[in-house]
């Protein structure tokens, strides 16, 4: 089953959920606000996408925390993602031992759900 991580009021997450529903694809939604990702989640995702994909440098949380000037190491970036899940680009989708980050309808149409 497809597992989608994010927050319900995020525009990209809403688009992803609408896409899955319109295609009749069953999924489980995990809300970062009630169930924050674990280091195990993070390590799994990082097997498929780099930290530069997972860390949302365009978001308000990144800017609010002034992380741009900190030149984070990989270990420090991981710590921040666990401590502040809103730093994670959304949605994060686990499908058939693969991870997709963000919403792109054209890319979603190519996935073997």
Looking at 4, 7, 10, 81, which residue is catalytic?
A: 10
Burial letters 72-91, b for 16+ CB under 10 A, else e: eeeeebbebbbebbbbbbbb
CA atoms in the 13 A half-sphere facing the CB of 59: 20
Which residues, in sequence order, are CB contacts of 95 under 8 Å at separation 6+? 2, 3, 111, 113
Task: Using DSSP, state whether 102 is helix, strand or coil.
Answer: coil
Q: Does the active-site annotation cover 104? A: no
Q: Write the DSSP symbol of residue 32.
A: T
Point out the residues that are catalytic: 10
């Amino acid at each position: 089953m497809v597992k989608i991580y994010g927050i319900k009021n995020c525009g990209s997450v809403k688009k992803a959920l609408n896409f899955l529903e319109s295609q009749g694809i069953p999924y489980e939604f995990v809300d970062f606000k009630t169930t924050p990702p674990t280091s195990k989640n993070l390590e799994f995702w990082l097997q498929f996408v780099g930290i530069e994909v997972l860390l949302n440098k365009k978001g308000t949380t990144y800017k609010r925390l002034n992380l741009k000037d900190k030149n984070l190491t990989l270990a420090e970036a991981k710590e921040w993602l666990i401590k502040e899940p809103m730093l994670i680009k959304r949605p994060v989708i686990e499908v058939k031992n693969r991870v997709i980050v963000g919403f792109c309808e054209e890319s979603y149409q190519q996935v073997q759900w």
